[in-house]
A and B are shown apart, each in its own frame.
Chain A
Amino acid sequence: MFDLILLISLLLISFAILVALYRVYKGPSMPDRIIALDSIGINLIALIAVFSIYMRSTAYLEAILLLGILAFIGTIAFSKFIERGVAIERKHD
């Protein structure tokens, strides 16, 4: 019963990813895509978390942490790129 619930939630998260993917594809503007990517990243975290419960394993917790950091950094970098044109600014001489 517990496994079934986990599977259903996995499925739901997967469909959420698919929906977000459609937004990535459709756009229409760049921020739309970035927000969609960010939500895909968060959904992936949820997916891995549910999956690790399903597998009864703690080996995936590092992946969750890493994904959280990456999604955050990625979104920040993208946003900065859209706002200023570069992701990493050079030092001013």
Chain B
Amino acid sequence: MSWVHLMIVLPLLFAVLIPLLYKAFPRIHTGWFVLVVPVVIFGYLATYLPMLANGETALYEIPWIPYLDINFTVFVDGLGLIFALIISGIGALVIIYSIYYLSKAREALHNFYVYLMMFMGAMLGVVLSDNMIVLYLFWELTSISSFLLIAYWYQRKQSRFGAQKAMLITVLGGFAMLASIIMIHNITGTFSIREVIAQSDLLVQHDLFLPAMLLLLLGAFTKSAQFPFHIWLPDAMEAPTPISAYLHSATMVKAGIYLVARFTPAFGGTPEWFWIVTFVGLFTLIWGSLNAVKQRDLKGLLAFSTISQLGLIMSLLGMGSAALYFNPGDQGVQLHAYAVLAAVFHLINHSTFKGSLFMVVGIVDHETGTRDMRKLGGLMTIMPVSFTLAVIGSLSMAGLPPFNGFISKEMFFTGTLNAANLDIFNMATYGAIIPIVAWVASVFTFIYSIILVYRTFLGKYQPERLEKKAHEAPLGMLIPPSILGFLVLAIFFFPNVIGDYALKPMVASIIPSAAGVFDDYTISWWHGFVPELFMTMAVVALGLILFATLNRWIGLYNHMPQWMHLNNWFKHGLSGMERGSHKVIDWHMTGYIRDYLMYIFITIILIVGGSYFMLNDFTLYTDNLASINLFEIVLALVLLGSTVLVMATRSRLTAVVSVGVLGYVVALFFIILRAPDLALTQLAIETVSVALYLLCFYHLPKLKGRGEEEGEKFKVGNFIIALGIGSLVTLLALSVNGYNLFEPISTYYGDSYDLAGAANMVNAILADFRAFDTFLEIFVVAIAALGVYALVRLRLEKRGGTDESQ
């Protein structure tokens, strides 16, 4: 047990108190109490920063299920701690923001903060856990709490739809991840991530390497909204804006990034990992930026922008994984680990500017009543502070100086250029694509960043189209985005503070062989006239031209073919699955017992008969057979005759009588085989049951159009199945007859007079040796009798009226 453990469970423990606080202090906004939690966590975790800057890590363990190797192990290293600081830091800002954003009178605040605390605890658990099963546990908890938060306004249909979609997609990925974890455990024999990384060589050479890697990446890609699993993120924008800012830009969508980064030392350095992560990231990057341009809803634009930026970080992690291919100390390690440095830097930058942009958009929504860019415009003079923050965020997102996005965008270009010159993994052939794709995506990123500011704050003010009279937001709502905006600028001017304390420990976690190679490196926003700078200039130039001519080519989006809308795939896939399962159910669940019996019998024939013939177990022993008497043959013939009569007769009465004859002949067989007790019972029972059949027969309704003398029609299928079952059972009985593995225990009961004082051995067994069975048989008869009585006597009120009088 350590303080870090307490920090992880603190939000979860506090979540229990929130409803009590909500009830106890109705006058105070519940958010003020909640604010304490992330501040405490942030403050405590920040004390680890100097330790990390020295290149040290910390490990704390609580045994949970030790015999399954599942322990609540906390591993504090660069990657985990910086994520945890982002989570708690932005968490604190989001709570301040939500205090002003959510009305105390109208909203169910206790629900909101309970879900939020659940999420925060889960997310801290994800990034700090060293045990993969515990990681998975917290991972699913983030999915569930995100589901709850998206559907916070559950009265709205769109919210429920978005929540369901996010749940289905992220849980699909979660399950894939669990499968991968189990595979990794099978290969390495441990659930500890550190030990898995230590056995990386074993892992990448194993047969299960590829499936384990693909399933793990499926989990990461669904969570981080990578193509084609990004479709849930735009629909998750139905959540309250603080949630969008927190979950869907800064934290949860980065869980997949975290997972990829965390497992890079284990899987990285292989061509598969490099290609998949890099290209999925690049494709997501360009797809997200292309789609963001056409959005008319501000949050929709930011959602696609988030997708795009996540793709950027993901592709950088992919490119950086090439560094693991090289031996420590090689030139290539630093060259390619640079991409990882860019990735983690952009990760932090993205959290700052995207969080701030979401909050600004929330302010605009809150103060004007709409997020539709066609209705907005001219808010610059009305909302100057929000405008300033939006400009800072957007230009940082576009990658312009003097904002932090510029530095990480430059580093991104450097990373892509390094990757293009990579001479491993067949990169020489296709490497040139990477910088080109990255550059085109940056142009579109620039365009939508400009659109965001231009359409919202510049242009003409249209008060008649707004639901409220626009005005500046309250101070409290402006503080959190201002802090983030300040960070955007601060990181630009002092990048090495964050570089030393955050980025270098993070790179050391992701690429262990690169620990220390960046010690002498300083991040600077000016590094001479290098190709990256010219690329940025070209981005700005082309971006401005395209933005100026936006109205001429924006119509091209309408020509996008229908199949490219992945939402349709999801929608049709879902409804198709529903229709398909309906069809399957309708097809085989007919409601007719005859069909179900057919399935049962066919299954018996296939499984029992199949294994019987595949094992080739048919044997026929003739040694221990008794001789056959003539009267036994006659009785068998009678048996056969009455059996055929039961099936062939067209009259029900004849069938009932034939069944009676069958029973009596069986009683005769009991006599011949020297079982007088059985014969007695059989005779009595047969008489009673035939009488009952006749009772049923008498009460059968008269069928319309069919006389009661009309029998069943002959059906070939039924005949074949009946024949199959009959011959199968006969063959089995004949074969079993040959086996006499053990001596029968019946000799023991032969002494029943000595053992139990009974001359009748059968009755001694029934009432003495094995009396438990008899006891329960009596029970069965009693239940049957009571059941019949209940069925006959207890009638429903409506139908019983006439029956009672009889």
Contacts and interface: CB of A to CB of B under 8 A. Distances in A.
Contacts of A67: 683
B657 A60 contact: no
Contact of A66 (B642, B660, B661, B683): B683
Interface stretch (B61-69, B633-641, B724-732): B633-641
Contact of B657 (A18, A24, A70, A81): A24
B661 A48 contact: no
Interface stretch (B292-300, B403-411, B668-676): B668-676
B657 A47 contact: no
A63 B645 CA distance: 26
A48 B671 CA distance: 7
B654 interface: yes
Contacts, number: 69
A21 B668 contact: no
B383 to A, nearest CB: 92
A14 B635 contact: yes
B664 interface: yes
Per DSSP, chain A at the interface is: helix
Interface in A6-36: 7, 10-11, 14-15, 17-18, 21, 24-25, 33
Given A40-B664, A60-B679, A18 B671 contact: no
A51 B668 CA distance: 10
Contacts of A60: 671, 676, 679
A8 to B, nearest CB: 9
A35 B629 CA distance: 29
A66 B684 contact: yes
Contacts of B676: 57, 59-60, 62-63
A74 B687 contact: yes
B687 A21 contact: no
A48 B676 CA distance: 10
Given A17-B638, A63-B676, A66-B684, A40 B671 contact: no
Contacts of A21: 638, 641-642, 661
B668 A44 contact: yes
B657 A37 contact: yes
A14 B654 CA distance: 20
A53 interface: no
Contacts of A48: 668, 671
Interface in B610-648: 629-631, 634-635, 637-638, 641-642, 645
A92 to B, nearest CB: 13
Nearest to B675: A59
B760 to A, nearest CB: 9
Interface residues of A, number: 32
A53 to B, nearest CB: 12
A57 B641 CA distance: 30
B679 A63 contact: yes
Interface in A51-92: 51-52, 55, 57, 59-60, 62-63, 66-67, 70, 73-74, 77, 81, 87
B671 A63 contact: yes
Contacts of B667: 63
Given A17-B638, A24-B657, A24-B661, A10 B679 contact: no
A7 B631 CA distance: 8
A44 B660 CA distance: 13
A11 B631 contact: yes
For A44, A59, A63, the residue with the greatest tally of chain B CB atoms inside 10 Å of its CB is A63
Contacts of A14: 631, 634-635, 638
Interface of B: 629-631, 634-635, 637-638, 641-642, 645, 649, 654, 657, 660-661, 664, 667-668, 671-672, 674, 676, 679-680, 683-684, 687, 691, 694
Given A18-B637, A48-B671, A59-B674, 11 more contacts: A10-B631, A11-B631, A14-B634, A17-B638, A18-B634, A24-B657, A51-B672, A59-B676, A66-B684, A67-B683, A70-B683
24 contacts: A7-B630, A10-B631, A11-B631, A11-B634, A14-B635, A18-B641, A21-B641, A21-B661, A24-B654, A24-B657, A25-B649, A37-B657, A37-B660, A40-B661, A44-B664, A47-B668, A52-B671, A55-B674, A63-B679, A66-B683, A66-B684, A70-B687, A74-B687, A74-B691
The 3 A-B pairs of least Cβ separation, nearest first, read A14-B634, A59-B676, A10-B631
Interface of A: 7, 10-11, 14-15, 17-18, 21, 24-25, 33, 37, 40, 44, 47-48, 51-52, 55, 57, 59-60, 62-63, 66-67, 70, 73-74, 77, 81, 87
